[in-house]
A and B are shown apart, each in its own frame.
Chain A
Amino acid sequence: MTTLWVAILGVALASAAIKALGPVLVGGKELPPSADAVIALLAPALLTALVVSETFGEDGHLVLDERAVGVGVAALALALRAPVLLAVALAALTTALLRAFG
């Protein structure tokens, strides 16, 4: 339980600090272009890692199950420019149906 509350408070403080940093410190000034370029690539790198670990990761193992198919359907829907909500719903629906009837 302590682990959970440490994580909750830590994440809340860190998120607030990150959001405050730009407006307070950087104001009109500019970051060095190299720092800018790395920061710009952090989001895609992190999102990819989260997609991979939440789609194929399970207790430190790689698994390929119904969930991966559901996420694949969502990816396909997004590639066809479906709205986010629809893609997310399709992922859950596909996964649930496969588990029920698969």
Chain B
Amino acid sequence: MSSEKEHGGGDYLAGARAALPFALATFVLGVSFGVLARSLGWGIVAPIVFSVIAFSGSAQFAVVAVLGAGGGALAAIVAAILLNSRFLPMGVAVAPFLKGGPLRRALEGQAVVDASWALASRGGGRFDREFMIGATLPQVVAWIGGTVMGVLASDVVGDVERLGLDAIFPAFFMALLVDELRGGGQTIAAALIAAALSLALIPWVPPGVPVIAACAGALLGLRGRSS
């Protein structure tokens, strides 16, 4: 009865429903982002604007980490770019399944976030465009809503260290990392090199730089998958 193709609205809805557990996690992370941003003296408006226009948990955590440790804007931006560079191959992978001209494709590409991308994967390199976009929407709402709540409730929440909230960010990154490492092989070697590099550099270079330098671990990919 709908004028859309056979699977139009239904897949958006199915995607949104599948993403609800992730949206809950995103909300909690959003709250802690808001609380931590306030504790760094970011005020009320800046963290909320950040979550609305960037909508990138990992990049925003990275900015908190770099600026919070006394690093500059450039180091924060570079760290966020390098961290979000994973969206490049993800975007390439979904590209054939997006619709319209360059502008619309660029807009649809914004729906690529880790959980949605993974949920929309149909194997064999195929992706469900409607499912992915549908899955991203509740996560956007949860991320922004969580940030607002965290920023406003930070007086109630108080000292983030007392509540152990500063452990949330590395634990969240750890969760993403564990998923990556299940790929095995070169992934684990690259992670080990990155761990060694960042541990060795932290005492000697400005905050933020160890994270960027650790990317050298990815150059392992140049050795190819031969041997």
Contacts from A to B (Cβ < 8 Å): 3-12, 14-16, 18-24, 26-28, 31, 33-34, 36-62, 66-67, 70-71, 74-75, 78-79, 83-85, 87-97, 99-100
Contacts and interface: CB of A to CB of B under 8 A. Distances in A.
Contact of A54 (B53, B54, B169): B169
Interface of B: 21, 24-25, 28-29, 42, 46, 49-50, 53-56, 58-63, 65, 67, 69-70, 72-73, 76-77, 80-96, 98, 102, 105-110, 112, 161-178, 180-181, 183, 186-188, 190-195, 197-199, 202-203, 206-207, 210-211, 213-222, 224-225
B67 to A, nearest CB: 6
A62 B91 CA distance: 36
A41 B221 contact: yes
B222 A34 contact: yes
> Secondary structure at chain A's binding surface: helix, strand, loop or mixed?
helix
Contacts of A26: 91-92, 95
A43 B94 contact: no
Contact of B190 (A44, A57, A61): A44
B164 A93 contact: yes
A42 B219 CA distance: 8
> Secondary structure at chain B's binding surface: helix, strand, loop or mixed?
helix
Nearest to B223: A37
13 contacts: A7-B67, A8-B46, A14-B77, A19-B109, A22-B92, A41-B190, A42-B218, A47-B180, A52-B198, A52-B214, A57-B69, A71-B167, A78-B175
A60 B65 CA distance: 12
